[in-house]
Structure 1
């Protein structure tokens, strides 16, 4: 039994999705478990297509068999209480195949298969188009469980990529709000100024024209951390977010085992383990955490309507406080943990430390007052989908709020003028849902990341008013493609008619999970850059003119840094037959005072584990003579792991030219006559992997799974 299963109640709090935050777009009731509930109790069951019929399964009461060509699949599960002499089922509980595929999020199964070459039937495409046309006339109260799959891209003009360098970004770099331009001699000669040159210029008084502080900051703005990892901190589950405190003295990391680890980073080059706090009875993972401005309290959330607030004092082992975001403003908190009405995706402390704002799966933005222990503001009915990210617009004022949603909009709320419950304005220009928003803290600039594979910079002075967006359908462009499994097709790219962004950044990949982006800090970078994690295992650092300033290759730095464990296959996110070492950088944080960056990643065999890697600027040096040596592996409490380091060294010596594969790769020749057989083999491999994951993750409901034959 894994640590995550030990920490969460397996019977009362069922987690029924095997990959990523399924509630994020699919789950309507976090307490619903399709393997535990009978289908006749579902009110929407009659309106959904019968999956058994689509898969040619016959009557749901018949033993579940799937017939796809000459592939035979039999699905059974042992019943711990059955098996009597008179039991006609022979001690087995019949589980309809529709329930198993619902358990495995079958809306994404077809995309897994199609991405591996399995063709989509034409009649299925026609049926889906008819369902989308009927969607406009459907009951407003009816929300299908896989609503993100019901809209297809409307055909339009192909996307016109914005220019790089971006003219607006060039202007911003010249105004001084985002760093300082190079000395004119360096620009004329097209050379990059090194650190030694900057120090000499400062001593000579060059570039100093009475602005000593800006000149000093310009020295460090070119010190971008390198790909070599100072240390690799390993977690047994995927890591979801990690951030430095505002003063750089703390770093916290949220993992899927419902724990938040805190580290003392007052010396950014020598971390010390500090404290670990838990989320009791969490759902799927820790989604977010935020540290108070005075570093005394940490608030963290899961896919539930309750957040927890714990003290950062390592000597204080008291239970964390419960912050119930589901109560209405002015009402007291209900007793007991009870049913969770929604999940919390994002949390942020206000600049004065008195409030916490949250974005929820209920399509709402909630402000919670820590003194009265209750919500004081609930902004609903404006966003049309989950609110994945929230933040305050000004570090010195709690009045301006930003919220980014899967409805493609970034809305601006002014709490001083909320009489009609509407936002002060909105930013439109993304063509898919937003995954993260970050404010520069000056009440003017805000940054957003999106599933349309772009990051955008916005200026508050250019936002659209609420009257301007009343007649605009924000879902006009979005496809709702399954970013967890699908690549983003070029055919989906298009230009929004009402794009009011200032600069658009492209190159990173916003796939697999809600990948985050940030402004670089003013102290260590002179606010020169914006940066984002990426599904390809890198951190992308951009200049404000949309040119690429540099990349930090976390995947290369961590390759084969831990041996593959026996249960890695069961917890793998990748459902391919190869189980390669994969890295997806979900979050990154730049230290406010030093050229040090910490990257929080899904990392390992099949993305089954997580890491936090520390990267520092080393001027491109291949080796570091300092102590301790760079690139070594540590556990969550920063204890050296000799077996991990020995494994990597031995692997590097044996496989110096290509990555290590943890199992043989299946290869088949392709020719015209064997194409269909090839597709069926791919289907068999995909379903085999899915059933193995289900058998391990959902015991005792799926105690035994029969073999797949061809």
Structure 2
């Protein structure tokens, strides 16, 4: 662990990740049942550039051909010999080292509540961690103070469960949603630890109904996200719409009639806030450009490839690439430059992911017009809206993707080769959400068994917990 922390301290002073150095990342050997793709795209080259050692490293090992990945001892010795001429590691050198410190050891149980955990995320700087539970409870943990509960929130106007939470960019406020048109906002930096809605603190309600005639049973907010500047919220609804709320004006700004079915996930594509990605039970991913919504009134583009509904989308943050989890038991990687102007409605099946197993024959099928760059298989997306993510840019250069799974595990895949590089198996119920620390090799998984579990890089002296006895009954959403 001392090597990792030393690397982190040095990497904080590095240049941008755009360093023009070369180096080829070795293709990992695929495990049984892992993904079967190999990424042939500009993104593969960019990922290798950002996570590969400097081209001059071969001089430090006597001109021999590099055998990747390069050992930490060789990297450290080469740095001391000033192989790059800079007297330090480049950013990609650091990522080449840090990305090998996978958080696979453990887990350590952080908390356990007698309620299903639906959402969990680190803050952007990793100092806070938020977990939302079905029985109206949200906990904000201070990671830097030994995971002490900084805020214990009892939610207001809850319907069924907490469907999503999101921290503001300045980490002062948290919004939470449920199967309701009201999204509530809480000040998490106030002195009150126990935050009971409208008893110890006011939880302001943001109304996402367009007018009083809206059917509240249809407007169920499944996903809500802050814009990068913290001035807006974007939300996905069960009425097939996307909503954008202006926090400064305290009013609903835009309603987009986006899909023919539930919109399960939505997010801003990049820092500009102009592009929005959405995914729906109509099996389509769509891209929306707010700059031309008024004139066109339709999506900037559509991406087809999933055979069943989309449960989650995560943007790479560059306004070009994103990944999506689908009920067809796959994660797909997309490039919006390949999108089409429209897509024909797909046939609806009688299969229901909430209580039925996915047909074995369907696992071999492929969409006739699959526009995705790569497909990752091995995990399962059943029972609930399982979430997926890119690994952190700071420590891994986003060279991995990871996802929860209804088989009670977390899966980590190599972005380029598609190989499954790790499977974190501990929980006794579906892992709906998981989050990788933005700096350190730490991953937290949250499950319907009510357990919040932390995974670390081996070498910190932590003893792994015994695996619980599995309850093989299917849990209905």
TM-score, scaled relative to structure 1: 0.56
1:213 Cα deviation after fit: 2.1
Deviation at 1:544, TM superposition (A): 1.5
**2:316 is aligned with 1:445:** no
User: Structure 2 matches for 1:557-572, cutoff 5 A?
Assistant: none
When residues 586 and 360 of structure 1 are mapped into structure 2, their CA distance, relative to the original with a 3 A threshold, is same
- Look up the match of 2:278: 403
Alignment partners' CA distance in 2, 1:661 and 1:262: 29
Q: 1:207 to 1:433 in 2, by over 3 A?
A: farther
Aligned-residue offset at 1:176? 3.7
1:370 and 2:210 correspond: no
Q: Distance in 1 between matches of 2:157 and 2:106?
A: 37
| Partner Cα distance (1:261, 1:343) in 2 | 22
Q: Which residue does 1:259 correspond to in 2?
A: 137
Other-structure match for 1:326: 209
Worse-matched range after superposition: 302-311 or 492-501: 492-501
Are residues 1:348 and 2:216 paired?
no
Shift of 1:545: 2.0
Q: Name the structure 2 match of 1:590.
A: 436
Change beyond 3 A, Cα 1:314–1:364: same
Q: SS at the partner of 1:497?
A: coil
Residue in 2 that maps onto 1:313: 189
Which of 292, 300, 307 is equivalent to 1:431? Answer: 307
Deviation at 1:492, TM superposition (A): 1.9
CA distance in structure 2 between the aligned counterparts of 1:179 and 1:507, rounded to whole angstroms: 26
State the distance in 1 between where 2:242 and 2:435 align.
24
More helix by proportion, 1 or 2? 1
1:244 corresponds to 2:122: yes
Cα contact 1:178–1:528 (8 A) shared by 2: no
Instruction: Assess, with a 3 A threshold, how the Cα gap between structure 1 residues 162 and 524 changes in structure 2: closer, same or farther.
Output: closer
Counterpart residue number, 2:22: none
* C-alpha distance 511-197 of structure 1, shift in aligned 2 (>3 A): farther
Cα deviation for residue 260 of structure 1 reads 1.0
Larger radius of gyration: 1
Match in the other structure for 1:212: 90
Deviation at 1:660, TM superposition (A): 4.6
Contact kept in structure 1, 2:37 and 2:376, CA below 8 Å: no
Distance 1:195 1:233 in 2: 34
Once the two structures are TM-superposed, the CA of residue 319 in structure 1 deviates from its matched residue by: 1.1
Gapped runs of 5+ residues in structure 1?
1-160, 329-333, 559-581, 604-609, 633-647, 653-658, 666-685, 694-710
Cα RMSD, aligned residues only: 3.1
- Does residue 166 (structure 1) correspond to residue 43 (structure 2)? The answer is no
Q: Distance between the aligned counterparts of 1:195 and 1:583, measured in 2?
A: 37
Instruction: Give the CA deviation at 1:180.
Output: 1.9
1:528 matched to 2:376: no
CA positional deviation for 1:233: 1.5
Q: What is the CA–CA distance in structure 2 between the aligned matches of 1:208 and 1:439, rounded to whole Å? A: 35
2: CA distance, partners of 1:338 / 1:403: 22
- Distance between the aligned counterparts of 1:612 and 1:296, measured in 2? 23
The answer for the alignment partner of 1:550 in structure 2 is: 421
| Secondary structure in 1 matching 2:274 | strand
Deviations 1:592-639 (A, max 9, x none): 111111111112xxxxxx111111111xx5xx54xxx5457xxxxxxx
Structure 1, residues 434-475: CA drift from partner, whole Å, max 9, x if none? 00001111111111000001111111211112xx43xx22x2
Report the counterpart of residue 599 of structure 1 in structure 2. 445
CA 1:173–1:257: 2 relative to 1, 3 Å: same
Instruction: Give the whole-Å Cα distance in 1 for the aligned partners of 2:374 and 2:443.
Output: 24
- The 5-angstrom pairing of residues 19-34 of structure 1 reads none
**Matches of 1:227 and 1:404, distance apart in 2:** 33
- What residue number does 1:482 align with? 352
Give the whole-Å Cα distance in 2 for the aligned partners of 1:231 and 1:339.
38
SS in 2 for 1:219: helix
The 3-state SS of whatever aligns with 1:426 is strand
Match of 1:612 among 447, 452, 474: 452
After superposition, what is the alpha-carbon deviation per residue over 1:538-594, rounded to whole angstroms, capped at 9, x for unaligned? 211111124335224242xx5xxxxxxxxxxxxxxxxxxxxxxx3311111111111
**Deviation at residue 177 of structure 1 after TM alignment:** 6.9
Tell me if structure 2 keeps the 8 A contact 1:230–1:614.
yes
Is 1:359–1:389's contact at 8 Å kept on the other side of the alignment? yes
Q: In the alignment, which residue of structure 1 is the partner of 2:197?
A: none
Measure how far apart 1:511 and its partner are: 1.1
Q: In the TM superposition, what are the counterparts of 1:505-524 in structure 2 within 5 Å?
A: 505-524=376-395
Distance 2:434 2:73 in 1: 28
TM-score norm. by structure 2 comes to 0.82
- What's the secondary structure of 2:94's corresponding residue? helix
